[in-house]
Amino acid sequence: MVDKESIFLDVIGKNKQIIYKVCYMYAVDEDHLKDLYQEILINLWQGLDRFRGDAQISTWIYRMSINTCITQYRRNKQNVEMLPLEMLLNLPSEDDNRMESIKQMYQLINRLNRMEKAIILMWLDEKTYDEIAEVTGLSRNNVASRLRRIKAKLVEYGKE
Residue ranges binding other proteins (CB under 8 A): 5, 8-9, 12, 17, 20-21, 24, 33-34, 37-39, 41-43, 45-47, 50, 63-64, 66-68, 70-74, 77, 88-91, 98, 101-102, 105, 108, 113-116, 118, 123-126, 134-138, 142, 145-146, 151, 154-155, 158
Using CA atoms, how far residue 60 sits from 9, 24, 30, 117, 132, in Å, is: 16, 18, 25, 17, 11
CB of 128 to other proteins, least distance (A): 14
CB of 60 to other proteins, least distance (A): 9
CB of 68 to other proteins, least distance (A): 7
- The dihedral of CA 84, 17, 131, 71: what is its sign? negative
Of the pair 81, 120, the CB lying nearest other proteins is at 120
Of the pair 21, 81, the CB lying nearest other proteins is at 21
Alpha-carbon Rg of the chain, whole angstroms?
16
Of the pair 81, 137, the CB lying nearest other proteins is at 137
Q: Tally Cβ neighbours within 10 Å of residue 138.
A: 18
Q: Tell me how far apart the alpha carbons of residues 17 and 23 are, in angstroms, rounded to a whole number.
A: 10
Of the pair 82, 105, the CB lying nearest other proteins is at 105
CB of 1 to other proteins, least distance (A): 16
CB of 129 to other proteins, least distance (A): 14
Biggest distance spanned by C-alpha atoms of the chain: 57
